[in-house]
Amino acid sequence: MRIAMVSEHASPLATLGGVDAGGQNVHVAALATELARAGHEVTVYTRRDDADLPERVAMPHGVRVVHVDAGPARPLPKDHLLPFMADMGRWIQRDWRERGLPDVVHSHFWMSGLAARTAARRLRVPVVHTYHALGSVKRRHQGTADPSPPQRVHLETRLGREVDAIVATCTDEVTELVRMGVPDAHVHVVPCGVDTTYFTPGPGAAQPWLTWEPLPYRLLSVGRLVERKGLATVVEALPSVPGAELVVAGGPADGHLDDDPEVRRLRALAARFGVAGRVHFVGAVPREQVPALMRASDVVVATPWYEPFGIVPLEAAACGRPLVGSAVGGLLDSVQHGVTGVLVPPRDPAALARELRLLLADPARRRRLGEAARRRAVRLYDWRQVAARTLTAYESVVYPSVKEATA
């Protein structure tokens, strides 16, 4: 099958850890690679944000990344990209006319969906869409602090009614889509995935940048440093978790941490709560070092206000580490409460502290949770499983008559 993907701000080639570079980049890169490994022809279209980038770049297993001229060739916040999506769609359409039509186009994020729909118009290329995050949820939690374009929710709703199929990453998202008025008849629930051959259990190797004298227990947070990720909740819980330190991996490189407003905010909060010496920011960590960092931790924490899915819980599970996280969004699917980890209400430091104390005091329970998490990650979230289920969604729109005949 010839598969086109559109990922307007999240290039599969991007360095992770920036404000707009995270789980979606990993998802697009891994899904494209796994589909190509299975024998499909995959091309990923992403916006050019550097004038020196070549138009076409080859990734492993034959995946092609195409840099599309849409707006200025420099980094822009993703919330500023909406005016350029029509141009992006027309550029992609011209590319298809010159090089041949794909069998299906899979758009990632709402603005990519608009570009894909423009490209597919009049060419009869079916569009499969993954939101990765919904504006209605973001607005509910961030209110006036939400920087999304004001028309986002309206456009997302219309997009959901017009595409041929939707790949939702969790059951909570389906509920939200129905609330928005998007029919669920053509929604396929396919989770994000994890490389279970790369993220594996084992002893944690010493990391050269962990230079302080460790405390008895290590908590780990990995991901972008933005307020909605809920790190403040962990900091506020820490005074009630004696003997525990918090390692925060993410954000800018170590030498630029002092310039990051979220780091400054969290450091001030840690000082106010008397735990500044127990909170360690290590900055962006090379991806190849993340598994060892997870294995060197006792518990991984992920306490966002909301989370469309979340890659970190899967990576922790694949490494055999228990996770304590917020009972929101995709974590409701990826973490089995009491079986592979523990879920607590979001923004509840007291509940988080209570569960962390119980878990840290019981190494046998931590081991059981971690082992169960690893088994579940291999069974449900390995990228081969995710790619196969995504391919089923593609086939439902590429070969609809087959689907109808077998219904």
* pLDDT tens per residue across span 252-295: 887 889 999 999 999 999 999 999 999 999 998 888 889 999 99
- Which CATH number is 310's domain given? 3.40.50.2000
Q: Does 388 share its domain with 377?
A: no
DSSP E strands in 72-209: the ranges are: 104-108, 127-130, 165-168, 187-189
pLDDT value at residue 252: 87
Task: Assess whether 354 and 387 both reside in one domain.
Answer: no
182 & 221 share domain: no
Evaluate whether residue 374 is within a structural domain.
yes
Q: Which domain holds residue 288?
A: 217-381
pLDDT surpasses 70 at 51:
yes
* pLDDT tens-digit readout, 199-244: 999 876 656 667 788 899 999 999 889 899 999 999 999 999 999 9
pLDDT confidence of residue 231: 97
* Average pLDDT for the chain: 92
Please write the tens of the pLDDT for every residue from 323-345: 999 999 899 999 999 999 999 99
Rounded distance, CA 103 to CA 391, Å? 12
Whether 198 is in a domain gets the answer no
* Same domain as 388, residue 249: no
Question: Quick one: pLDDT at residue 145?
Answer: 78
What is residue 286's predicted lDDT score, i.e. its pLDDT? 84
Rounded to an integer, the average pLDDT of 29-39 is 96
pLDDT tens by residue, 371-405: 999 999 999 999 999 999 999 999 999 998 655 44
Within-domain flag for 83: yes
Q: State how beta strands 299-302 and 104-108 pair.
A: unpaired
pLDDT for residue 304 is more than 90: yes
- Regarding whether 87 and 69 lie in a shared domain, the answer is yes
What per-residue confidence (pLDDT) applies to 139?
A: 87
Clarify whether residues 169 and 27 are in a common domain: yes
In-domain check, residue 211? no
In Å, how far are 87, 110, 133, 256, 401 from 176, measured between CA atoms? 30, 15, 11, 38, 29
pLDDT score recorded for residue 26: 87
Structure tokens at 13: 């080639």
Q: Please tell me whether residues 393 and 357 are part of one structural domain.
A: no
